[in-house]
Amino acid sequence: MFLTITEFIGRFHVLLVHLPIGFLLIGLLLQWISSTEKYNVSKEVITVIIFCGMIAAIFSCITGYLLSLSGDYDEGLVGWHMWMGISVASISFLLYVRIKFGQIDIWYKVLSVALLVAITITGHLGGSLTHGSDYLTAPLSDSTDSVVIPRKIIPNIEEANVYGDVIQPMLQTRCYSCHGAKKQKNNLRLDDPQWILKGGKHGAILNSNPEESKLLKRILLPREDDDHMPPKQKPQLNEKEIALIHWWIDEGADFNKKVKDLKQLELIKPYLLELQSDHAEEKKAIPIIPTEPVEKADEKNLQPLIDKGAIIIPVSKNSNYLMANFVSAINITDEDIKLLRSIRKQLAWLKLNDTGISDSALSVIGQCTNLTLLQLNNTKITDKGLGLIKSLNKLQSLSLVGTKVTAKGVIQLQSIKGLQSIYLYQTGVNKNDWPALKKAFPKTEIDSGGYVVPLLATDTTIVKAPKAAK
Amino acid sequence: MTQKELHLQRLVNEANKKALQFYSRRHFIKESAMGFGALALASMLHSCGLGSSSTSNNIVFDPAHPLEPKLPMFPGKAKSVIYLHMAGAPSQLELFDYKPDLMKLDGQDCPKSLLEGKRFAFIRGVPKMLGPQAAFAQHGESRAWVSENMPHLATIVDEITFLKACTTDQFNHAPAQLLVHTGGPRLGRPSLGSWATYGLGTENQNLPGFVVLTSGGKFPDAGKSVWGSGFLPSVYQGVQCRSEGDPVLFIKDPNGMDRDLRKASIDAINDVNQQEYKEFKDQEILSRIAQYEMAYKMQISVPDVMNINDEPDYIHEMYGTKPNVASFANNVLLARKLVEKGVRFVQLFDWGWDSHGTDASLAIDVGFINKCRQVDKSITALILDLKQRGLLDETLVVWGGEFGRTPMMENREGKPNPFKGRDHHVSAFTIWMAGGGIKKGYTYGETDEIGYYPVSGAVTPFDVQATILNQLGFDHEKFTYNFQGRPYRLTDVSGKVIDEIIA
């Protein structure tokens, strides 16, 4: 009970701290401007203000100490903050004595400056405690606040350590920010088995009865519940992560056992297997723009294209890569395409469908080496032109629908290893070329189109209500 | 001077006087003083990060070019969306959610436990259970269940992700449709397509960015608000086009007016509007000017793109379309043509899926089957046609209704209905998506043995909206518009991107 009352009083610190700051600063300010005839403020008034500031500073120190007992804060920072706070109170006391019983002399001025410095530092440390030490500078730095820790791929899940390889990485991404080396909210640390076993302010978090383990109970509470962990505004554990933690705790929350030592439920098996698989390879289609950074494009030469209706804009905010779409452009010729040279490094997606371009445009496009997507549907390009773009080694998707290209032309591109799809509907490629194409592009999805949706008898017959039902 | 002339004379005099008063010395002083003051204030507020608060997150609303292409927050996989809404809510239990155990309960009284604390649109008392009214089979490499009602779609399940455990909290058509399309069950919010065109603009400057096509003989119950722009500038509302006759009403010039005269008149109107804008600085006036210019361009471009008569025969055979006969299939073919031409969002509504069993056309074993036959072939053709043109990768196709249907047979007001039918069901239904960076041949979510409640992978309309925005390159939590003093977003205060279905 005692602890809770002290904590209750301690929490007033957050309110009280603002009073000494206000009082003492206004006292210093009035003293400073009093040196001029115009703003002469009586010494008595300033004395009262400094006195109030001193009292408030002392109370702030006391409540601050009580709050620090809760242990929710980083110990190192709290220590500094405490000593700076005490020095604010002490200096304000000296200042008060000086102004009440002494003169406004050089010592008074030295004390004033010292007080100003002490208040600033204490305030900053206090802010760092509540908002985090990077709060002030975060807007200046580029880094995003969500730290993505790349997941390690487990080569053989059966041999993996359940805690070390499966559970610990989850705790690291979801829990350490509040229950780790930097912060220990409610005195709980989760970054080492010994801390996990020790538990937090409310006692042990693991229990011989899995259902009673607080670590699990808090996670399973509905997100709206105040006791739910992680707090509802923070990134949450997903269904799979929760299932794996549940399983680990059900099986005794052992820190040394391997996966094969624990009983594996049907539900858990696919999740475990997923940890083993290389997710990165599964998601290889994701980087639809090149991953290397590129400098900003020089777009001033592009005006003639834009005047003709072409759309050339970055692929997204904060990206220097560009997409160009000519869907509503008119009278585009090979000559116009030459202007793309100035953005040959930045151009990632290019759509030239239904434009009048021909093979000579492809010599320019062949220089746009960061292209990942190229659509040339219904243009006059031929096999000769395709030979000019075989250096586009980042190309992932190529559409040649409605052009005169043949298999011979397409095969020239087989050196582009990352090519994921080629669209060859209504081209000069015929059925006999198919095996050769398949062989040349073993990993590429080649779509020949020409799909037919057959007419079924049921498509045109209408079902009537059975007579009996009427 | 006749009476009439006198009257006119007086009107002209009055107008002149008003105009003179308007440009008075005081007016000049007021304008310049207030003008400079406001300018100074605006620049100050701007430097404080306030000011011009109608937009946020750097989505610049340029009223003179409201539809010019804009940048997403991150590179989106989908460039366009085709949303196929089966208005009235198709039965998941006769299409995708196969429940053999429900057959065993067919004809029995519904257990009390399923009815306690529940409210239905029409079911009263204790209804009978109704087993699946269609034969099911597994298809494709993904072994997805599809019923005999959609034999064509069954051939392309390996292109599709099924969301089998969709939920909603609205059991009436209009609010449920609004929830699906605008993120709220009440009127006044912008629709998905409006958000998409507001955020991304559109790539073809000669066509509207958001086109709506309806079929089935009726509008959706929620009316035109399901494609309204809500509090977004009105230029972002869906443009409803017709699939027969003039695609947009009054798009042809009237007899005796040629295109030059039309241009001259639009220029004159825009000059007047331009002056009005200088006077009042109302951004909607600039939108209006842009819309006039767009309308002029559309006179040429829309009839061209909306004309399916020139499509080759094999395409008509593929979609099952007949020129000059309005149908859902025609709309589907138009959707492909529009997306091919760079239209951002195409919204199709097909009415007639409300299979209550109150008459034969709304019976689960009669009218419902006919509805399936009307859409099955064309939707399948759409997916395949987009695929062969290399467009499916960047076009997100979404199919669904506004809610699901009950595993119980409807007994309207406690009496059996004349035909087999199912009531509205909010707790479980199926939506599917294809293309636009969504997994191929995948099923997410599962319902219980009778398809009553989700067992795993439950999603809400907000989750689906968040996912659609994500595929277009937007973080649904940061994509906001300031209105009535707070930032609004499509997904309101919830929604989570369904990461599991993203390829």
CB spacing of A401 vs B69 below 8 angstroms: no
Strand partners, B433: B161, B398
Quick one: pLDDT at residue B243? 67
Using a CB-CB distance cutoff of 8 angstroms, which residues of chain B are in contact with residue A397? 390, 393
Contact across the interface for B75 and A315, Cβ inside 8 Å: yes
Among residues A113, A139, A165, the one where a domain terminates is A139
Which helix (H) or strand (E) covers residue B189, if one does?
none
pLDDT number for residue A210? 79
| Predicted local confidence at residue B320, as pLDDT | 92
Q: Minimal CA–CA distance to B159: which of B138, B137, B142?
A: B142
Domain boundary, last residue among A237, A252, A282: A282
Q: What is the pLDDT of residue B53?
A: 41
- CATH label of the domain that carries residue A329: 3.80.10.10
Distance from CA of B64 to the nearest CA of A (A): 17
Residues of A in contact with B74 (CB under 8 A): 316-317
The β-bridge relationship of strands B210-215 and B239-241 is: parallel
Distances (CA, A) of B341 to A352, B323, B335, B347: 12, 20, 10, 15
- The DSSP annotation for B426-484 comes to SS-EEEEEESTTBPSSEEE-EE-TTSSSEEE--B-HHHHHHHHHHHHT--TTT-EEEET
A228 lies in the same domain as A278: yes
Final residue of a domain: which of A228, A254, A282? A282
**What is the pLDDT at residue A468?**
55
Chain A nearest-CA distance from B173, in A, is: 25
- Are residues B72 and A319, on separate chains, in Cβ contact within 8 Å? no
Q: Are residues A307 and A435 in the same domain?
A: yes
Instruction: Find the domain containing A24 and state its range.
Output: 2-139
b/e per residue A247-260 (b: at least 16 CB within 10 A): bbbbbebebeebbe
Query: How far is B8 from B15, CA to CA, in rounded Å?
Result: 11
Which residues on chain B are in Cβ contact (under 8 Å) with A327?
203-204, 341-342
User: Which of A316, A423, A469 shows the shortest C-beta gap to B74?
Assistant: A316
Q: Which residues pair with B166 in a beta bridge?
A: B429, B459
Residue B54: what pLDDT?
Answer: 41
- Please report residues of B whose CB lies closer than 8 A to that of A375: 390
Q: Helices B461-472 and B192-200 meet at what angle, rounded to 10?
A: 20
pLDDT of residue B296: 87
| Nearest-CB residue to A465 (from B377, B388, B419) | B419
Contact B389 A315 (CB under 8 A): no
| A268 and A374 fall within a common domain | no
Residue of A nearest to B70 (CA): A313
pLDDT at res. A284: 43
Search chain A and give the residue with CA nearest B315.
A452
Helix A75-101 × helix A43-68 angle, to 10°: 160
Which residue blocks in B306-455 are alpha helix, DSSP H?
313-319, 328-340, 367-388
CB B415 within 8 A of CB B125: no
Query: Mind telling me how many Å the CA of A290 is from chain B's nearest CA?
Result: 11
Question: How much is the pLDDT for B55?
Answer: 42
In a domain, A459, yes or no: no
Q: Which chain B residue has the Cα nearest residue A451? A: B384
Q: Do B203 and A325 touch (CB under 8 A)?
A: yes
Nearest chain A alpha carbon to B77 = A288
Low-confidence ranges of chain B (pLDDT < 70): 1, 20-60, 243-244
Quick check: is A470 in a domain?
A: no
Which of 3.30.1330.40, 3.40.720.10, 3.30.43.10, 3.40.605.10 is the CATH number of B80-247+319-451+465-471?
3.40.720.10
**Same-domain pairing of A429 and A328:** yes
Which of A315, A453, A463 to mutate against chain B (most B CBs within 10 Å)?
A453
Taking an 8 Å cut-off on Cβ atoms, the answer to whether A313 and B74 are in contact is no
Number of folded domains that form chain A: 3
Q: What is the spatial distance between Cα A309 and Cα A317, in angstroms, rounded to a whole number?
A: 22
> What is the pLDDT at residue B48?
47
CA atoms lying within 13 Å on the CB side of residue B488:
18
Q: Is B146:B98 a contact under the CB 8 Å cutoff? A: no
Residues A379 and A411 in one domain: yes
pTM for this prediction: 0.70
Dmax over Cα atoms in chain A, in whole Å?
Answer: 112
Quote the CA–CA distance of B310 and A186 in Å, as a whole number: 72
Residues A325 and A440 in one domain: yes
Give residue limits of the domains in chain B.
3-47, 80-247+319-451+465-471
Which pLDDT belongs to residue B137?
94
Write down the pLDDT at residue B27: 60
Closest Cα in chain A, distance from residue B279 (Å): 30
Instruction: Answer yes or no: do A338 and A273 share one domain.
Output: no
In a domain, A18, yes or no: yes
Please give chain A's pLDDT, 470 residues, in tens.
556 788 888 889 989 999 999 999 999 898 888 877 788 888 888 899 999 999 999 999 999 998 888 777 777 888 899 999 999 999 999 999 888 887 778 888 888 999 999 999 999 998 888 887 777 777 775 444 444 455 667 777 888 888 888 888 888 888 887 888 777 788 888 888 888 888 888 888 888 787 788 888 888 888 778 888 888 767 788 878 888 888 888 888 888 888 888 887 777 777 787 777 654 444 444 568 888 888 888 878 888 888 888 999 999 888 899 999 999 888 889 999 999 988 989 999 999 999 999 999 999 999 999 999 999 999 999 999 999 999 998 999 999 999 999 999 999 998 898 899 999 999 999 888 888 898 899 889 999 888 999 999 888 888 888 765 44
Residue A37 within a domain: yes
Interface of A with B (CB under 8 A): 239, 283, 285, 288-289, 309, 311, 313-317, 319, 321, 325, 327-328, 353, 375, 377, 397, 399, 401, 421, 423, 425, 447-453, 455-456, 458-465, 469-470
